[in-house]
A and B are shown apart, each in its own frame.
Chain A
Amino acid sequence: MSVVFYLLAGLTVAGALAAVLLKNTVHCALALTVAFAGLALLFLNLDAQFAGFAQILVYIGAVAILVVFAILLTRGSETPKDGVYSRNWLTGLVIAAGVFAALGWAVLQSVGGLPNETGPAPVVTVLQIGNALMGRYVLPLEIVALLLTAALIGAVIVAMHEKEGAQ
């Protein structure tokens, strides 16, 4: 466990906490970007370069921008009068704390059985990833392509402006 891991973990968790806790929705989106960047750096720290850069491209480049667009289109940056938390916030907090307690307990109980040796970093080239995507994982790749097409068309149709009286 290196200092780098603690710094990145602290950055990610702080960004996630800020994204959930801040009152202004635009600030939440910016804090979410920080959390995504911290996660991408954690991926790079785990020698998963391709996944790290895919995280930067997809999440920081696309999802964060989409969230900001949605906030601005729905005027969500105005803080509501009756607070930002739901009526049932205490129940949600208790459920989340319970889930974290269960997960943390499970991890700490099984820490002896986890692989401990770090070993040499696995060398993964983009050539290997491309070969795997076109060979062993070609069916999931095609399904993801279909899913992305359907999601693209579906999102446009759902958000498209409906004309008065049109079916």
Chain B
Amino acid sequence: MTSVANPLAGYLLVAALLFAIGLAGALTRRNAILVLIGIELMLNAANLNLIAFWRYGPHPEALTGMMFAIFSIAVAAAEAAVGLGLVISIHRHAHTTDLDAMNRMKG
């Protein structure tokens, strides 16, 4: 198997698998919180790609990939806070977090 010899390819495959799992979770679950969990998994898969390319790239001393990952972690934290706040707000109005039941725009 070709990927065994190359460490970067192994990390990229793990990241691709994590992304696919997160996407499947975001697309198939009913609960809005589980959809957010899937989105967090996808963001983390992207971070793993950034760090792996930084580590095995030609200029790791430039810190570019790691800085991008750190900023991405900060943005993901903001996204999680706002997303969960929205879920709580929707639950207060509609008394459900079932996304299949959320089918009207008017509050």
Which residues from 93 to 110 on chain A have a C-beta closer than 8 Å to any C-beta of chain B?
93, 95-97, 99-100, 103-104, 107-108
Residues of A within 8 A of B (CB-CB), count: 84
Partner of A154, one of B8, B47, B82: B82
CA distance A96 to B20 in the complex (A): 5
CB-based nearest B residue for A95? B27
Question: Which chain A residues lie closer than 8 Å to B26 at the CB level?
Answer: 92
Partner of A99, one of B23, B34, B97: B23
Question: Which chain B residues lie closer than 8 Å to A51 at the CB level?
Answer: 47, 51, 66, 69-70, 73
Question: Given A63-B40, A99-B23, are A58 and B77 also a contact pair (CB < 8 Å)?
Answer: yes
Question: Given A100-B19, A122-B60, A122-B61, are A151 and B69 also a contact pair (CB < 8 Å)?
Answer: no
Give chain B's interface residue range (CB within 8 Å of chain A): 35 or more
Question: Which chain B residues lie closer than 8 Å to A89 at the CB level?
Answer: 27-28
Q: Produce 1/0 per residue, B42-83, CB < 8 A to A.
A: 001001100110111110110100110111011111111110
Contact B19 A1 (CB under 8 A): no
Partner of B31, one of A16, A25, A50, A132: A25
Show 11 A/B contacts (Cβ-Cβ < 8 Å), sorted by A.
Answer: A35-B18, A50-B70, A70-B33, A73-B88, A85-B28, A100-B16, A124-B63, A129-B63, A144-B75, A154-B85, A158-B85
Identify 18 new A-B residue pairs, CB closer than 8 A, beyond the known A35-B18, A66-B80, A67-B37: A1-B7, A13-B18, A20-B24, A35-B41, A35-B44, A42-B11, A46-B54, A48-B51, A58-B76, A62-B77, A63-B76, A73-B91, A74-B88, A76-B33, A85-B29, A115-B57, A124-B66, A151-B81
Listed in ascending order, the chain B residues whose CB lies under 8 Å from chain A are 2-14, 16-31, 33-34, 36-38, 40-41, 44, 47-48, 51-52, 54-58, 60-61, 63, 66-67, 69-71, 73-82, 84-89, 91-92, 97-100
